[in-house]
Amino acid sequence: MEFEKVYNDVLKYYPSDIDISDGKIVSETDGFDSLNLISSYDEAEKIASLAGEWQSLITWIIYQVLHETAIIQFAKKKYVIEKEINKSRFRELLIENLRTEGYEDMYLEFLEYEKVKGAFK
């Protein structure tokens, strides 16, 4: 697997900007909900699910990073987030997700990739 290529391809599944003005802080869970952000993920996942398991996982992790960004931007009253992904945070979440049950083979594949190509940055 050429990880950088898959990552860059999956980024294209998301729009360049996402309007989160429909968002709201969910007080019971201290979470954040934006139908526009969720819709962007749903559309990206439709494409990813046809492309493969890595694409689906990366789509989910990009959503996680965008969701974290949305919480911060919404609190600052900035209602559009750009598709700028913090790669170190992405890598942290990727490893966290790969260390869960069912992803052992993918985790080993990713570690081998980084051993050969260097850390994903």
Identify which of 41, 27, 25, 17 has the alpha carbon closest to the alpha carbon of residue 74: 25
The pLDDT value given to residue 58: 97
pLDDT, mean of residues 42-71: 97
pTM: 0.93
Collapse the DSSP code of 39 into the 3-class scheme (helix H, G, I; strand E, B; otherwise coil) and give the result: helix
What whole-number distance in Å separates Cα of residue 53 and Cα of residue 36? 24
- How many residues are given for the chain? 121
Are 41 and 59 spatial neighbours (Cβ–Cβ below 8 Å)?
Answer: yes
In the predicted structure, residue 18 carries a pLDDT above the cut 90? yes
* pLDDT above 80: residue 119: no
Mean pLDDT across the chain:
94
